[in-house]
A = this chain, B = another copy of it.
């Protein structure tokens, strides 16, 4: 491609906000050139101070309409909106469980569609969905393709859609700006304090706090610490799998004291029987709640969820033993239940589980604060890769993390 002469296919787009220091403009320019397009900066106003917004108008050029459309789709996710105003294009879904070809694919950022000249915010926001519009009510929402039903009005293409990428608002909390490598060597107390502040705010306010946890919580001896968080009202919801619940119940049923638990951990090979017997005993009781009611289960995280009215969702996986009777074995049903349960959640703590963390991360809008804690940097990196400025990774050991968190909560409670 000769970069001197402009290609024939062009569209004018604009960006607003902190487009320079929040990297939106550089990202858009990079996306254009990385995809083989070119650009021309037609107009730019840069805010003179940190808090002044900027504004840029670009001409975007590509060699074909298809390339241009692809390019516009990509930069639209970074907030670049065509200047030519037009309504979104709608088409009727022609079958159940699938979207029409050319559907608009959603992001996890706040999004509006233009309907009869008016911009309407989506009622639910979730990445990798179609957008379904109720023209009569002038409402729109994200809907996963499996839930599409014939006759629904679906948005096609990027015309009439605008995305508002989250901007970094507060440098004090910009843990990871320009620094996406996850270090195991940094002081972590600020992050733990920030988590504590969020949990406390939600205990006292309307927001809900969600723990997404893996079985290492139990293996590392952190079960009693999570129980304390539940008992003190800091957790409203728990998403986990069969393994966390099983090991928690196994420890409650077969452990007797810390010394013995630790001893058990040593001779883990023999543990598999306890583990199966624990599942079996709950299956015999009917459910975790019934096991609590009948006195079969008297302690542990799952017990406390029942006793303190913490909503829990156990999602199945193909590696499950048993599973426990409460486990939702159909993954699509589990996704739907998670989606419903996430309404109201504004803080999410993900601990020691890649599978459940990614699954929940897929469902969350970008503005929900997420902290991902794992001793393995690769889990944290994977989560952060799909993240927003609100996603913080913490590479640390699970048990001391929860211990520190309780200490910070004590300090905050004492101070308030």
Contact = CB atoms under 8 A, between A and B. Distances in A.
A262 interface: yes
A396 B270 CA distance: 25
Is the interface on chain A under 10, 10 to 19, 20 to 34, or 35 or more residues?
Answer: 35 or more
B26 A73 contact: no
Contacts of A26: 20-21, 23, 26, 178
Given A35-B270, A334-B318, A355-B355, A185 B30 contact: no
Interface stretch (A135-143, A228-236, A324-332): A324-332
A358 interface: yes
Given A35-B267, A44-B44, A190 B262 contact: yes
Interface of A: 3, 20-21, 23, 25-27, 29-31, 33-35, 38-42, 44, 46-51, 56, 70, 73-74, 77, 95, 97-99, 101, 103, 105, 127-128, 145-146, 171, 174-175, 177-181, 183-190, 215-216, 219-221, 258, 261-263, 265-267, 269-270, 272-273, 276-277, 279-281, 283-284, 315-323, 325, 329-332, 334-335, 338, 355-356, 358-359, 362, 375-378, 381, 384-385, 395-397, 399-401, 403-404
Nearest to A25: B20
Nearest to A241: B318
Contacts of A29: 20-21, 50
Contacts of A317: 317-318, 331, 355, 359
A332 B242 CA distance: 12
Give the one of A23, A26, A267, A325 with max B CB within 10 A.
A26
B98 A284 contact: yes
A303 to B, nearest CB: 20
A319 B338 CA distance: 11
